[in-house]
Amino acid sequence: MTGIRRKLPLVLLEAFLLLLSLVVIVPFLIMIFGSFKSSLEATSFDLSLPSVWMWQNYRQVMVEGKMVHSFLNGMLITGAAVILNILVTSMASFVIARKRTAVSEFLYYFFFIGMIAPMQLIPTIRLFKELNLYGTYLSVILIYCTINMAFSIFLYTGFIRTTIPQALDEVAMLEGASLMRIFFTIVFPLIKPINITILIIVFMNIWNDINIPIFFLSDPDKWTMPLSVYQFFGMYSGSNWNLVFANLVLTALPVILLYLFCQRFIVSGLTTGAVK
């Protein structure tokens, strides 16, 4: 009886979490099943299977919604912003973590403020117009790299301080290695778990965002997949929910696949530094 009483709270908690997960799972299944239904069946918004699996919905969406072009736009912007973010913030965090001075501590908390400080939209637009960058891919890439910088530096700094021994740096310096060589040949391979964690989180943040592209990319040909959903929804939400669902599935698919293949790195990257 004592063992049962101890396990009861855990069982109840697990049952509650399973019920809570239905808030996400049920709409997700409605979206997937609805993407294979006819326009009339999709308007029921239920969990019933399609009477006929209409794979042509996806073909129609890819052609009319220009999904391939939007996918390439999204991969260009997201990939470039993620790579730039990882390189810049990992190097900055290495310096902040190793130099225990008043300046480095100030920089750490200065970047930390960026996690709560909102982006100023109008001044940023004016700045990029003055630099002749407004409406370009580069402007969006730089913005995404910047707004994710504070979070990345916060994770990198904590990971390097608690996980990478400073003795490795000192031995390499005695051998005549430069600071850049120490970072890229010794430190950077050792921070692989946090690299993958930041890659996944920043990738998802950028891929799912519609606010930055809609304000900084005036040309619809440069829009990403979430914005194609926004445009497609306006065209077909009144009568063709099956096409809207198919568009949503295609947009969410890259993030879902990335998360499924790399989810174990998220937990290890976030907890390794804290545990050690």
- Domain count for the chain: 1
Burial class (CB within 10 angstroms; exposed 0-12, middle 13-18, buried 19+) of 191: buried
Q: Would residue 35 count as lying in a domain? A: no
Q: Residue 200 is part of which domain span?
A: 69-226+254-275
Read off the tokens for 161.
Answer: 């301080």
Give me the pLDDT at residue 108, please: 83
Q: Would residue 243 count as lying in a domain? A: no
Task: For residues 235 and 223, give the distance between their C-alpha atoms in angstroms, rounded to a whole number.
Answer: 16
Read off the tokens for 63.
Answer: 């052609």
Q: Among 2-6, 157-161, 242-246, where is mean pLDDT lowest?
A: 2-6
Read off the tokens for 259.
Answer: 């998360």
Find the mean pLDDT for residues 243-269.
79
- Residue 182, pLDDT above cutoff 50: yes
Q: Other C-beta atoms within 10 Å of 211: how many? A: 11
Q: Would residue 133 count as lying in a domain? A: yes
- Residue 145, pLDDT above cutoff 80: yes
Q: Would residue 56 count as lying in a domain? A: no
Picking from 108, 209, 187, the residue whose alpha carbon sits closest to that of residue 152 is: 108
Q: Would residue 32 count as lying in a domain? A: no
Q: Would residue 105 count as lying in a domain? A: yes
Tell me which residue has tokens 């051998």: 175
- Residue 238, pLDDT above cutoff 80: no
Mean pLDDT rounded to a whole number for the chain? 84
Task: For residues 213 and 226, give the distance between their C-alpha atoms in angstroms, rounded to a whole number.
Answer: 10
Burial class (CB within 10 angstroms; exposed 0-12, middle 13-18, buried 19+) of 158: middle
Q: Would residue 12 count as lying in a domain? A: no
Give me the pLDDT at residue 4, please: 64
Q: What is the pLDDT of residues 17-61, one digit of tens each?
A: 888 888 888 888 988 998 898 888 888 888 888 888 888 888 888
Q: CA 51 → CA 42, 43, 106, 236, 274, distances in Å?
A: 11, 14, 63, 21, 51
Q: Would residue 234 count as lying in a domain? A: no
Picking from 225, 214, 231, the residue whose alpha carbon sits closest to that of residue 249 is: 225
Task: Read off the CATH number of the domain in which 147 is found.
Answer: 1.10.3720.10
- Residue 111, pLDDT above cutoff 60: yes
Task: For residues 204 and 224, give the distance between their C-alpha atoms in angstroms, rounded to a whole number.
Answer: 13
Report which residue type is found at 130. Answer: E
Q: Other C-beta atoms within 10 Å of 123: how many? A: 9
Residue of higher predicted confidence among 205 and 268:
205
Task: For residues 29 and 33, give the distance between their C-alpha atoms in angstroms, rounded to a whole number.
Answer: 6
